Amino acid sequence: MTGYGTADETKRDGRTRIVLDVDTGIDDTLALAYLLASPEADLLGVIGVYGNVTAETAVRNNRDVLRLFGRTDVPVLHGMPRPSWADCFEVDEGCARFHGANGLGNVDPAEYIGSADGGAGEIASAGTGESGGGVGAVADSEPDGMPVPASVRMIPGEAHTFAAAGRVKSVGGYRAEGEAELEEVVAAERAVRRAEAEGVKFIVDAVRRYGREVTILATGPLTDVTAAIEAAPDIVDSLRVVMMGGALTQEGNCYDLVCETNIIQDPEAANRVFRSGADVTMVGLDVTHQCLLTRADAQVWRDAGTSRGRFLADMVEFYINANEDADPMFLAGSPLHDPLAAAVALDPTLVTCFDINMMVETRTGDGHGFRGRTIGDPTRLRKPRKTAHVALGVDSDRFVPQFRDRVASICH
Ligand code: CA
């Protein structure tokens, strides 16, 4: 039971270099806010990947949130628009239910920028601008509309493989019926090229430059990370990933109650990352379901009386309502999935980990397990080196107030 490294390995000048890869929904935004509020975080760049929203929307949300908090110095990059197993992607209805059609609880950060209370002023910079040669702020683009989900082929119990021919569309991690439209596939392919040149390259460049002194913090599907490994296999030996996703001892949070939503988006990608030899800390439902944000916590941000505080409180209200509607377990509060992963990237002592070589099952059926399940890898069970560290215990009494108060500190 260890963390994922010593402080000396992960930090330099007392600060932890982070590349954040997010599918910017509500808790992703809270993770971003936490990093902005943490003086020990050196945020090199923020990559927007598909997942809770489209990649385009994730990028737009990242840019808008950074602007609201006065941190336009942080590079914003495009990540992958679709999972590795599909040709294009559509957002699932369930994600919109938890995160709103725009990923931010239908709250528009642009409306809070430049409010009379001066909420968009600069905050103390936690970054160095030392971005590893990455790309600056991206050009404005129109937000995607929220597509109406196609009918989805639900697959429990059905033996299958996703290496299918034709134009394959993912709807929230599940394969859509029929072939995708050619225009969708062409548009996705264009976006893939852009992601390879921006977000994927940014990860490769950061790891080549900083080695184990940069942490790739992935709070969405692992599609960008696996693309980086495939583009530059040399990075694996020094690649350190902290990811939100998976569940080892708890039910999943997908339709099937086995899989976790980030993993089901791209099980192949997560499996490749786990089995690559990279050092991976898994912050999954085992611990995030122990860290709950309450209405009282959100009220602390609202009480700041600023546009930033109102934005966060308004956005989180949507999330809390959605979680309460979804599961009585969340009447006690809403899970801080992505913020906990961000906090663990900065301070591994918040969690206790079980070291194990992990894998993700990619097929469903007899002899194949269940597609999307995160589990120990039987082929590496006896290997002395364990590459994954699965967080199973968490000091939520320390983390949750620290999270609330740090975020409040930038609501001025
Ligand atoms: Ca996320």
Token reading at 79: 């990540």
Under the banding of pLDDT at 50, 70 and 90, the label for residue 276 is very high
Q: Which CATH architecture has domain 7-409?
A: Alpha-Beta Complex (3.90)
Instruction: Give me ligand 1 centre to Cα 101, in Å.
Output: 15
Token reading at 76: 């914003």
Instruction: Give me ligand 1 centre to Cα 23, in Å.
Output: 5
Under the banding of pLDDT at 50, 70 and 90, the label for residue 165 is low
Q: Is the pLDDT of residue 367 over 90?
A: no
Q: What's the confidence (pLDDT) of residue 113?
A: 85
Q: What's the confidence (pLDDT) of residue 12?
A: 61
Instruction: Give me ligand 1 centre to Cα 216, in Å.
Output: 14
Q: What's the confidence (pLDDT) of residue 14?
A: 79
d(CA 298, CA 32): 16
Q: What's the confidence (pLDDT) of residue 5?
A: 46
Q: DSSP letters along 271-335, please?
A: HHHHHTT-EEEEE-HHHHTT-EE-HHHHHHHHTT-SHHHHHHHHHHHHHHHHHHHH-GGGGG-EE
Task: Dump pLDDT digits (tens) for 45-98.
Answer: 999 999 999 999 999 999 999 999 999 999 999 999 999 999 999 999 888 899
Task: Dump pLDDT digits (tens) for 15-52.
Answer: 999 999 999 999 999 999 999 999 999 999 999 999 99
Under the banding of pLDDT at 50, 70 and 90, the label for residue 13 is confident
Beta carbons within 8 Å of 197's beta carbon, 6+ residues apart: none
Instruction: Give me ligand 1 centre to Cα 51, in Å.
Output: 7
| Portion of the chain with pLDDT greater than 70, in percent | 84
Instruction: Give me ligand 1 centre to Cα 383, in Å.
Output: 31
Instruction: Give me ligand 1 centre to Cα 384, in Å.
Output: 32
Token reading at 411: 């609501």
Token reading at 60: 């737009």
Task: Dump pLDDT digits (tens) for 228-267.
Answer: 999 999 999 999 999 999 999 999 998 889 999 999 999 9
Number of Cβ within 10 Å of residue 155's Cβ equals 18
Question: At 56, which helix (H) or strand (E)?
Answer: helix 55-68
Beta carbons within 8 Å of 293's beta carbon, 6+ residues apart: 30, 316, 320, 333, 334, 335, 336, 400, 403, 404
Q: What's the confidence (pLDDT) of residue 166?
A: 78
Instruction: Give me ligand 1 centre to Cα 116, in Å.
Output: 31
Q: What's the confidence (pLDDT) of residue 156?
A: 37
Q: What ranges do the domains of the chain cover?
A: 7-409
d(CA 1, CA 19): 26
Instruction: Give me ligand 1 centre to Cα 67, in Å.
Output: 20
Q: What's the confidence (pLDDT) of residue 4?
A: 46
Instruction: Give me ligand 1 centre to Cα 103, in Å.
Output: 10
Number of Cβ within 10 Å of residue 141's Cβ equals 12
Instruction: Give me ligand 1 centre to Cα 182, in Å.
Output: 28
Q: What's the confidence (pLDDT) of residue 134?
A: 40
Looking up tokens 């709807």 gives 171
In this predicted model, which residue has the larger pLDDT, 351 or 142? 351
Instruction: Give me ligand 1 centre to Cα 205, in Å.
Output: 23
Task: Dump pLDDT digits (tens) for 324-363.
Answer: 999 999 999 999 999 999 999 999 999 999 999 999 999 9
The pLDDT of 358-373, averaged and rounded, is 93
From first CA to last CA, the distance across the chain in angstroms is 40
Instruction: Give me ligand 1 centre to Cα 241, in Å.
Output: 15
